[in-house]
Structure 1
Amino acid sequence: MIEIQRPVTWVALTGFMGVGKSRIGRELARALTLHFIDLDRYIERQMGLSVADIFHHLGEATFRQLEAEAVEELSRKDYLVLSLGGGTFVNPQNRARLLARGPVVALWASPGTILERVSRRPGERPMLKSPDPFARIQQLMREREPIYRQAHLHVSTEGRRIPEVVEEIIERLWDYAAAGR
C-alpha cells in the first residue's frame, strides 16, 4: 500500500463569508489527497433545502442546531478538509469541538473584498439581508474577529490566487504538525 505524505489527515477552514473557504478547501483537499465537505452544502443535502430556505422557513436557531449536529458528526471523521459556514465557529460548543479536533485554519480578507465576492451571489447570503450590506459585513467582522483569532493558524486570501493560499496553508500545516500539536 502506498503511504501518502501529508502534514495532517483532518483540517477545518473557518472565517467570514466570502473569504474563500469553499474554493480553497476544495483545492486543499485535492492537494492533500483528502475528502472535502462544505458544511453548508452538507446540511442542504441532509435537509433537501438551501441554507437561505432553512433560515427563511425554519429560522436561524434551527439552522444553528443542524449545524452543531453536523459539526459533531464530521469532527469524528478522518481524511477530511471541512469548510465551515461563516457562523459555525462562533458557537462555543462547535468552536471547542473543532479546536480540540484541530487544526483549524482561519482565512481572512478585507470587508471590501468580501462585499465584492459575496455580491456575486447575494441570494445565498441570508445574514446580509440589510439595506447596507457593507456596514453589516463590517459589524459582523468586528464581532467575530476575536472568535476567529482563536483558530490555530491564520492565512490571508486578500488579493491572492488560490494555489498560493493553498501552498501557504500546507506549509503552515507542516509547521503545526512538527510542533506536535
Structure 2
Amino acid sequence: MQANQFGEENAFAQSDHVDRVLAQWARQWPELDTSPVAVIARVGRVREFFDRGMEELFAQHGLTRQAWDVLACVRRAGSPYELTPSELSAALMRTSGAVTHTLQRLEYDGLIERVASETDLRSLLVRLSPAGKALVDEVAPRHVANEKRMLAALTDDEQTAFADMLRRLLLSFEEADSAVRQRRR
C-alpha cells in the first residue's frame, strides 16, 4: 500500500483527490456512507477540467463559453440560423437575463443580429451574422478535437458506456424537472 499526502494508505497505486477525501471521511466518520461522493465529486471536478480546457480554446478565438454556447445553438438550428431568445434560454438552461447579456456582447461584436420576426412583430429573433457563422464553422472542428483530447484517457468503448450511463442519469433529472414544471402550470 502507498501512503498519500495525508499519511493515509490506499489500495490503489494511483489515487485522485476524491479518493483522499473519501479516506479522510472513512477515518473521521466510518459509519457515514460516502459512496455518492465517489461519483458526484468526480463529476464536479472533471467538469472543472473540461470547462478550463474549453475556455482556453474559446479565448483563442475571442469567445467565452457562454458566447460559444449561444453561437453553436443558433448554428445547429439550421438555415436561416435563427432562434428566439426564449428558445435559446430553454436550450442552454440559462436565465433570460444571462442570455440577454451574452446576446448584447455578441451583437456588439457583430456575430449575431437581432431581427424582427415575420410571424410575430412583437418579438425579435437572434440570427447568426455571416461573421458569426464563419466563426462557428472555424471553431467547431477545433472544439470537437479539444473534447476528444480531453477524453483520451478513455477508450472508444469506455466513452460509449460512460455516455450511456450519463444519458440515463440525465434523463432521470430531465423527467423530474419536466414533472415539476407541469405541476407548476
Greater RCO structure (CA 8 Å; 6+ sep): 1
Query: TM-score if structure 2 supplies the norm length?
Result: 0.28
Q: Give the structure with the higher percent helix.
A: 2
Bigger CA radius of gyration: 2
